[in-house]
Amino acid sequence: MKQRKNFSYAKYGYIFCIPFILAFLIFSFYPLYYTVSISISDRQGVPLPGREYGIQTRALFDEEKIPVYDDNGNPLYDEDGARVYDITRTPILDEDGNQIIKIAPLENFRTVLNTEMFKRAFATTFRLWIVNFIPQILLAIILAAWFTSRWTKIKGQGVFKVLFYMPNIITAGTIAVLFSTLFLFPTGVVNDALIRWGILETPKNFRVDANATRLIVSFIQFWMWYGYTMLILISGILGLNPQMYESADIDGAGAVKQFFFITLPNLRTILIFTFVTSLIGGLNMFDIPMLYAGGGPGGATRTTSMFIYNQAFAGAYRYNTASAASVLMFLIIAALSAVIFVIMRDKDEARLKKLKKAEARAIKQAAKAVN
Amino acid sequence: MTKQSECDNMSLWLPNGDRILSIKNYEVKGMKKFLAILLSMFMVLGLAAGCSSNEDEPGGDGPGGDGPVVERDPNKPDINVWSFTNEIPDAIARYVEMNPDSQVANFNIIPTILTDWDGSFERTIEPALISGNNVPDIYAAEQAFVLKFTQGAFSSYAATYTDLGIENVESKIVEAELAQYAVDAGRRDGAVVGLRFQETGACLIYRRSIAIETWGTDDPEEIAKKTGPGWDKFMEAAAEIKEAGYAIVYGDEDVWQVARDGARQPWIVNNRLIIDPAREAYFHLAKQLYENDYMIGEGAWHEGWFAGMAGTTDPQVFAYIGPAWLINYQISEHASSEGATSFGDWAVTDSPIAWAWGGTWLMGHKDLIGDDASAKRAAVAEILEWITLDTTDDGFQFHFANGTLYQGSAKFPDEAKAFEDGTSAKDAVASQVVMRRSNGELNMTAGQNIFDFFLPAGANARSDHWHEWDREINGMFQEYCRLYYQGEMSFEDAMAAFKLEVHETFEVDID
Amino acid sequence: MTETKAKKTFRIGFKVVIYIVCIILGIMSILPFIIMFVNATRSSVQIQQQALSLVPSNFLADNMRALSRGRTFNAIVGFRNSMIISSGATICATYFSCLTAYALTAYDWRFRKSVFTFIVAVMMIPGQLSAIGFVQFMYNINMVNNFLPFILPAIAAPPIVFFMRQYLLSTFSLDIVNAARIDGSHEFRTFNFIVLPMMKPAIAMQAIFVFVGTWNQLLMPMILLTDVRLYTMPIMVRQLSGNLYNTNFGSVYLGLSMSVLPLFIVYFSLSKYIIAGVQLGGVKE
């Protein structure tokens, strides 16, 4: 591809990347930076009593301080008839009456890491992802192999390909509703069927069973995404050089052998892409566990994204801990992606590169020596 | 189609030689296509930018669509009304229809209606208030979270009724005989920022035919003695009803609402979680109902719960416990739908435990107080006063209690027809003065005047045990109770898990 | 090709298995749509009694009427808003991703490798996790009730850049570009009129993914679009259940069905590219 080095054209490489870089800096990087900056402060989301919102600081209203109540829940007043406020939880103000935002780099991270809910949510998220991703990638690979195989030549495969992506078209909300009705207690379709077939004697309440709910959530994720993964993998296989297969045919290698020794190894880049995007999507899982199960039963399907959402928006408006949890999740995802890259990198190619480098160095040295 | 398109693209998949050829074919087609794409892109961006400026009226809006109920005159400023039902936005539109010369008619009423059963309303109005852009002028809050908007985190966005220009608020409250507890919930440091128009004291709403089959009578006074007062009597009645082949309630939520309101303290006092004995008792109540098959399902506000109202469940549901709105809207709708077996088969009597459920408080936004908003402020004040404090026969509450609001309305033909048919809702209202003048006879209750029981039902209700995080904490509590009574968790584990969740979500101390 | 009989039987048996699996998966994919469309023709009571049914009923008109009573449901406005957001985001995402991918493949410039590594690295930044910062930022620059926060961020879509780059690696040859250069074509023109049309299959495939994803967004639009005139279709459908007189499940299903129809049109009109497939290069360079 680099047949000709033409320096006068190189500047277009920069120019054509500018929109991407700009949009990235404005819409991804800045919010991310903002999230990180919140994660090391004691900033909260709304003018909760004694809490502060947004970038600008401003004077607190009297009613934003935290009042003290007696044991019956009635507000306390001092001798002058003024309300008593909890000074320990009321923020410190500067001379102009603006709240001083405290910066505590590690405090929020410590809080999050000590939160049982977060640890559990992380384990849950990982579990939900693994349980849906492994069957998903396996099925997708098998289907992709079938649909690209010259040996089987499936008729009507176009229709199947189009159909398999369709679960991805419906909104998560609709899917959640449909599955709720399927697994309804006591008279849902699944319960009816299981009783009719004699598998169950009395209706089972799937919603209170942690394992069943997790399994259903994983299944929905699997069912929504295997078509997408299949399409990406098919694209990868179609991009492989047909000559490789031709020579394999000549060598007499069968379809299965060809798949394992030609298709899979050469599909590496696309597989890494699939793994990483699925990892990101999976560890950010939100819609289905939220809408189908509400994170229940007893937090059994609460994912880290839901934890973050609940911390940030559901009543407490704890932006700082939510941001810290977000940053932690980013670090975890980046680390896991790196692991995927390392495990799946082309070992031969890396070795080849090293060799080439050494060769170049040797040539250089030789040239030097000659001079 | 499938075959052909496969062929169309075949050239693309051939090895190098043919590719340039096929690309050249694309070149001509591609030009037009690209121009089209580019054009539409600029159009889209232009449109998007156009929509962003608030004054601009994007084309194609207003009447003419599928559901063009939001009428919008581009020459008039807007009053944004946020609520979780269409009740208030519709009432305001009807007010304008009845009073075309009022100052409210100089504004467009723009409703934002988001359901609140899953928290959508709160999650959306909160950012809207914070953002300060296109803020709600009038907004509603429900009992489960009203304190957040009147006394808690979002209270500073509400203007006091007095600042909005409503005169003599306190004396009007006394004249209208509004329930003290509800007014207290709407006070911020003593000043009224929110009032409600409904009275939500609850009654037992039961099926007459099932009562007759079980006890040989459907007389409300007799049934009240059979089912209450107190949970012990209620459980005895549940056993007798089960004997007759019915379920006393649909599910756990029906009882939870009652138990929740029996508490004497809020969930959080001095930043510490308090589990009131009345709430703790719900764990055991629910277990009893569940293990004895006194109820048939769980949760509420879903198909099954509504089917119980229609009388199409097996076994059928004897009663729902709730305020007048429950029979007026939910039960009425589902009991009169096609296939329902329970039309006119309902009656109202005392609840086994006195309590109240729901209610809509109305607030005006603080931005209305500025000098430049005086016209809008006056219009908002007029609306709020008409809905919450007007006790005359033209006031909203009198219409609301007698079902006459949409009588002869051209704008709301369905509701007007409901009035002609005698099926319009007759809801209990906040003003006791109005309630005493009103007639609550419904077809659904075979002519029983429901106000006989709903009028005193609110007398013992209180609000001092409410908290701004009620919705969230109630949800967690119910969830763990459900796991306990269905045998998934022990009592101790469920309580501990509940406490931990509250502690970690809200940073409150736990025991 | 000659085959033994046993081999042939095996092959046919294998094919039967494949067809059975595919047909089961196909039914699983299409069933929810059928249920949704069928329920749109059924009454609330019918749905209460039997939530899942494959037999259409005759309440479509009733449900339509109930839908039009929804105070903020206006299909035309909803379609228009959703269409602006989704097509805007789709165009931005595909066009600029192609442009960036082209810059990364066709030109040899100093930071090419680093920029590509950078793009792969930022692919790992989960968009959702910077949501808090994004919302705050949009408040601060007054981008509430504006469609741009849903369209412009699509310009930077790292996974799509990656996808497009792999596609270019497998199909693109610099010879055409050089030919165009000899003809005096400007670089930007060459990209728009020669490279872009060539990338149509890959663009179509990503367009489907982006369009569907954007159309179905709910959380962010609900937070940032508070003006009823700017509601997207999914927000309007969401609001149906907030209607006091409208716990009418039939009309909710009708609303859901209506909101999925445009997606159907887009999907099926582009589905020939899914059938034909898109070839992605597996080699890095």
The domain spans of chain C are 5-67, 71-276
Quick one: A110-350 is in which CATH superfamily? MetI-like (1.10.3720.10)
Among candidate residues A223, B284, A34, the one with its CA nearest the CA of residue C25: A223
Q: How far is CA A104 from CA A110, B4, B194, in A?
A: 10, 64, 39
Residue C99, chain A, CB below 8 Å: the answer is yes
Contact B504 A310 (CB under 8 A): no
Which residues of A fall within a CB distance of 8 Å from B188?
63
Residue B78, chain C, CB below 8 Å: the answer is no
Quick one: B203-355+438-506 is in which CATH superfamily? Periplasmic binding protein-like II (3.40.190.10)
Cα-trace Rg, chain C: 24
Contact B128 C72 (CB under 8 A): no
Mean pLDDT across chain B, nearest whole number? 81
* Each residue's pLDDT tens digit, A98-107: 555 666 678 8
Q: What percent of chain C has pLDDT over 70?
A: 91
Q: What percent of chain B has pLDDT over 90?
A: 37
Contact C52 A182 (CB under 8 A): yes
pTM reported for the whole predicted model: 0.82
- For the four alpha carbons of B67, B69, B70 and B71, in that order, the dihedral sign comes to positive
> According to the model, what pLDDT value does residue C126 have?
65
* Each residue's pLDDT tens digit, C107-135: 888 888 888 888 887 877 766 667 777 88
Among candidate residues B52, B80, B76, A132, the one with its CA nearest the CA of residue C148: B52
Mean per-residue pLDDT, B25-33: 41
CB A282 within 8 A of CB A128: yes
Contact C71 B113 (CB under 8 A): yes
Fold exhibited by the domain C71-276: MetI-like fold (1.10.3720)
User: Which carries the bigger pLDDT value, residue C261 or residue A42?
Assistant: C261
Structure tokens at A291: 């809408």
Q: A91: distance to nearest CA of chain B, Å?
A: 15
Contact A270 C25 (CB under 8 A): no
Strand partners, B188: B191
Looking at B369-511, list the stretches that DSSP marks H as alpha helix, in order from N- to C-terminal side. 374-388, 396-402, 413-421, 432-437, 451-457, 470-485, 491-506
Whether B151 has a pLDDT exceeding 50, the answer reads yes
Contact C173 B304 (CB under 8 A): no
For residue A119, the SS3 value is helix
Whether A197 has a pLDDT exceeding 50, the answer reads yes
Length of chain B: 511
* Each residue's pLDDT tens digit, B302-329: 778 888 998 888 899 999 999 988 998 8
CB B286 within 8 A of CB B252: yes
Whether B205 has a pLDDT exceeding 90, the answer reads yes
Separation CA C51–CA A185 (nearest Å)? 12
Domain boundaries, chain A: 10-104, 110-350
Whether A260 has a pLDDT exceeding 50, the answer reads yes
Domain boundaries, chain B: 78-197+359-414, 203-355+438-506
Residue A185, chain B, CB below 8 Å: the answer is yes
Q: What is the CATH code for B78-197+359-414?
A: 3.40.190.10
Q: How far is CA C177 from CA C105, C200, C264, in A?
A: 12, 17, 36
* Each residue's pLDDT tens digit, C166-182: 888 887 878 888 888 88
* Each residue's pLDDT tens digit, B391-409: 999 999 999 999 899 998 8
Residue B304, chain C, CB below 8 Å: the answer is yes
> According to the model, what pLDDT value does residue A45 have?
59
Q: How many CB pairs under 8 A join A and C?
A: 275
Phi-psi region of B46 (alpha: psi -120 to 50; beta: other; left: phi over 0): alpha
Residue A34, chain C, CB below 8 Å: the answer is yes
| B34, B114, B117 ranked by CB distance to C197: nearest | B34
Separation CA A137–CA A236 (nearest Å)? 14
Whether A42 has a pLDDT exceeding 60, the answer reads yes
Mean per-residue pLDDT, C6-31: 87
Confidence of residue C98 (pLDDT cuts 50, 70, 90): very high
Q: What are phi and psi of B379, to 5 degrees?
A: -65, -45
- For the four alpha carbons of C149, C152, C154 and C158, in that order, the dihedral sign comes to negative
Q: C264: distance to nearest CA of chain B, Å?
A: 16
Closest residue of B to A73, CA-based? B269
